[in-house]
Amino acid sequence: MTDFDPEKFEDKYVHYFNELQRAYKNVFNRLNEEYDSELIHAIDQQVLNESEPFYEGDGEFRVELPENPTDRIQGLLVKDEKVEEVLDIYVEQIEEELSRLFGFRN
């Protein structure tokens, strides 16, 4: 567990880069085993690569996605509804993983 300072999170890539990488990787590994790995890879590489995590306060994090995230998925024949469903799960788990990693949850 890393000591968390909300003010330092404003400059997160300087102070918490390793923790952010670990959170995203942990969720990627979990979901890659549970869902279509091609879809998980596409979301990781084509959507989440431009996402931005924010600390909301009270141990809560929010991951902001780029505009039109489902339109970014290229090279897969997957319905938008399925992409949206898996993307929602992915983002929710990243937010929870950040809370856990920074010691706000078990």
Query: Which residue, among 57, 68, 25, 63, has the nearest Cα to 44 in the 3D structure?
Result: 25
- Whether the model clears a pTM of 0.85, i.e. scores above it, the answer is yes
> In the prediction, which pLDDT does 26 show?
98
> In the prediction, which pLDDT does 105 show?
85
Tens-level pLDDT at each residue, the chain (106 residues): 568 999 999 999 999 999 999 999 999 999 999 999 999 999 999 999 999 999 999 999 999 999 999 999 988 888 889 999 999 999 999 999 999 999 998 7
> In the prediction, which pLDDT does 2 show?
66
Cβ-contact 16, 6 below 8 angstroms = no
CA distance 36 to 14: 33
